[in-house]
A and B are shown apart, each in its own frame.
Chain A
Amino acid sequence: MSRSSATFCRLKQKTANLPSLATVFVAALGREWRLQVRRRGDLINPLVFFALVVVLFPLGISPTEEILSPVAPGVLWVAALLATLMSLDALFRPDLLDGSLEQQLVSGYPLAPLALAKLAVHWLLSSLPLILLSPFLGVMLYLPWQAQGVLMLSLLLGSLALSLVGAIGAALTAGVGKSGVLMTLLVLPFYIPVLIFGTGAMQAAITGVSPAAHLAMLAALAALALALAPWAVAAGLKIAVSGE
């Protein structure tokens, strides 16, 4: 083929005008921020749920310090875990239903970073307030003051893994109608290691031992989730879209 006719047969599209992945990522962040900030209910309800669950324990078990203080780390962590699950439940459903998820799929950009943008904004708006609320609930459960700092630190690290792994469950069940309990059932077994290290860190702080090892494990789980979960989320979303 002569060179002039070869230039006419441009099989690959000109990529000069298409924005880079970084630009698209930032744009996705902006979009998610605007969308999620508007849904006040979705932001506040998990926090109220967190507080309510914590309140149930003194009422149901005993309001005395001798009984509450030893179980405070576990109760706080379980409640935070459940509240995170609540907030993640129908994370992808609006996008699936109005077709924007399908648009993201055919946009030519990989789905994993776009899903990650959504998760980043969700973590900022949902998990961060949870972490800030937790010390006050800790006081209500007579949590020893030494553990308060570690409570927030362990939740900070743990919530990364919780959000990322929970998103996998949300992606797989995105197409199911009232999937709330199903998603919880799927995701909870994977939350157990995070729970163990989170409460372990707090127990270590209470007994005066350094919580560094537990916190390091939480960080490792968060790093592993950050590396692997977006791909699983993307796979789950592709499956959900193909089922619509």
Chain B
Amino acid sequence: MWKWLKTLYHRLGSPKWFYQITGTWLPWFAAASVLLLASGLIWGLAYAPMDYQQGNSFRIIYIHVPAALLAQSVYMMMAIAGVVLLVWKIKMADVVAQSLAPVGASMTFIALVTGAIWGVPTWGTWWMWDARLTSMLILFFLYLGVMALREALKPQEVAAKACAVLAIVGVINIPIIKYSVDWWYTLHQPATFTLTEKPAMPASMWVPLLIMVLGFYAFLGWSVLLRARSEVLKREQKSGWVKELLQRK
């Protein structure tokens, strides 16, 4: 089992193998995300019972929570890819990091917007400077910073390493930001409602949520692999296997 994983990891480090392997994976990720998202959405929107206090707008949870989860975990993945690039010098790690950033930023944006819309019927306001919202907003800026840095630096290798450093520094800072914003927030009046109530939810409510989370992760794989594959082609355009591949079509 471990040997197979190790071989897979090394194979994925080679652009040619990465392209071939992910080519076979892509339809599975696509199918899985469409199936999971569709079933999760239908269940959550139409069949899940209504929340007693919040009414039907609580259904926004089925997008908001998975998006927020992904926003945070994608940043971690980006930072890990940065470590792999800097320590083991595997260039494919940078391709993955580059592909992760825009998807992570989109997820953060979705979490922020759906949270704001959800806030209107629930708290009566679009925005509130509570710890979690503020941390999410800062996370969004961190994503934008990494993307802006990649745009600004020209040679590919330089941009790759610089973005890796920035992503790693950001990861160290995320707990600090969360903690300090929490502290700052508790100086003000605490909120009347909390943002998510995770326990004490009946199965008919949290099962579709779980399905949506899995669907979002499948979607992540689909989008990231699409981006990574076109980036690989672009970077390796001079190499023999790319020429051969494109001449065959």
Within 8 Å by CB, do A and B touch in the complex?
Answer: yes
- Residue ranges of A at the interface with B (Cβ–Cβ < 8 Å): 168, 172-173, 175-176, 179, 182, 185-186, 188-190, 192-193, 196-197, 200, 203, 217, 221, 224, 228, 232, 235-236, 239-240, 242-243
Q: Which 3 A-B pairs have the closest CB atoms?
A: A243-B158, A193-B180, A196-B184
The answer to whether A236 and B148 touch across the interface, beta carbons within 8 angstroms, is: no
Nearest residue (CB) in B for A172 is B162
Chain A residue contacts of B161, Cβ below 8 A: 235, 239, 242
> By the criterion CB–CB under 8 Å, are B184 and A190 in contact?
no
A197 CB contact (under 8 Å) in B148, B169, B180: B180
> Is B237 located at the chain interface by the 8 A CB criterion?
no
Which one of B50-58, B138-146, B217-225 is at the interface?
B138-146
- Closest-CB distance, B133 to chain A (whole angstroms): 13
- Knowing A193-B177, A196-B181, A203-B187, the reply to whether A182 touches B165 (Cβ < 8 A) is no
Can you offer 6 A-B residue contacts whose CB atoms are under 8 A? A173-B152, A179-B152, A193-B181, A203-B187, A224-B176, A242-B158
Chain A residue contacts of B166, Cβ below 8 A: 172, 186
Instruction: Give the contacting residue for B180; candidates A188, A196, A235, A242; CB below 8 A.
Output: A196
* Chain A hits for B144, CB < 8 A: 185
CB atoms of A189 and B173 under 8 A apart: yes
Q: Interface code B148-165, partner A: CB below 8 Å = 1, 0 otherwise?
A: 110011110110011001
Other A-B pairs beyond A173-B152, A193-B179, A217-B183, 6, CB < 8 Å: A186-B149, A188-B141, A189-B177, A232-B165, A232-B168, A232-B169
Q: How near does chain B come to A187, taking the closest CB pair, in angstroms? A: 8
Chain B residues in 8 Å Cβ range of A189:
138, 141-142, 145, 170, 173, 177
Please measure, in the bound complex, the distance between the C-alpha atom of A186 and the C-alpha atom of B165, giving whole angstroms: 12
CA distance in complex: A185, B142 (Å): 9
CA distance A235 to B154 in the complex (A): 18
Q: For the complex, is B172 an interface residue (Cβ under 8 Å from A)?
A: yes
In contact, B165 and A236 (Cβ under 8 angstroms): yes
B169–A175 touching, CB < 8 Å: no
Measured between alpha carbons, how far is A221 from B179 in the docked complex, in Å? Answer: 12
A243 in contact with B153 given A190-B169, A232-B169, A236-B162 (CB within 8 Å): yes
| Chain B stretch 27-84: residues in CB contact (< 8 A) with chain A | none
* B interface with A by C-beta (< 8 Å): 86, 138, 141-142, 144-145, 148-149, 152-155, 157-158, 161-162, 165-166, 168-170, 172-173, 176-177, 179-181, 183-184, 187
Q: Are B165 and A239 in contact (CB under 8 A)?
A: yes
User: What is the minimal beta-carbon distance from B204 to any residue of chain A, in angstroms?
Assistant: 39
Assess the B148–A186 pair: CB atoms within 8 A.
yes
- Minimum CB distance partner of A193 in chain B: B180
Which A residue's beta carbon lies closest to that of B160?
A239
Alpha-carbon distance between A203 and B169 when the two chains are bound, in angstroms? 29
Task: State which of B152, B153, B172, B177 has its C-beta within 8 Å of the C-beta of A192.
Answer: B177
Instruction: Report whether B155 and A192 are in contact in the complex, using a CB–CB cutoff of 8 Å.
Output: no
**Chain B residue contacts of A176, Cβ below 8 A:** 152-153
Q: Enumerate chain B residues within 8 angstroms of A193, measured Cβ to Cβ.
A: 173, 176-177, 179-181
Residues of chain A within 8 A of B154, CB atoms compared = 243
- Residue pair A173, B149 in contact (C-beta under 8 Å): yes
Asked whether, in the complex, the Cβ of B165 is within 8 Å of the Cβ of A185, the reply is no
Rounded to whole Å, the gap between the CB of A165 and the closest CB of chain B is: 8
Q: Which residues of A contact B148 (CB under 8 A)?
A: 182, 185-186
Which chain A residues border B181 with CB–CB below 8 Å? 192-193, 196
Known contacts: A172-B165, A196-B181, A232-B169. The answer to whether A186 contacts B145 by CB under 8 A is: yes
Give the residues in chain B near A235, CB-CB below 8 Å.
86, 161, 165
Q: Is the CB of B158 within 8 A of A217?
A: no
Assembly CA distance A232 to B164 (angstroms): 11
CB atoms of A200 and B158 under 8 A apart:
no
Give the docked Cα–Cα distance between A51 and B65 (Å).
44
Q: Is the CB of A182 within 8 A of B152?
A: yes
Q: CA–CA, A197 to B145, complex, Å? A: 23
CB distance from B135 to the nearest CB of A (A): 10
Q: Which residue from chain A places its CB closest to the CB of B138 in the assembled complex?
A: A189
CB–CB A196/B183 < 8 A: yes
A207–chain B nearest beta-carbon distance, Å: 10
A242→B156 CA distance, assembly (Å): 11
Query: CA separation between A160 and B35, bound complex, in Å?
Result: 52
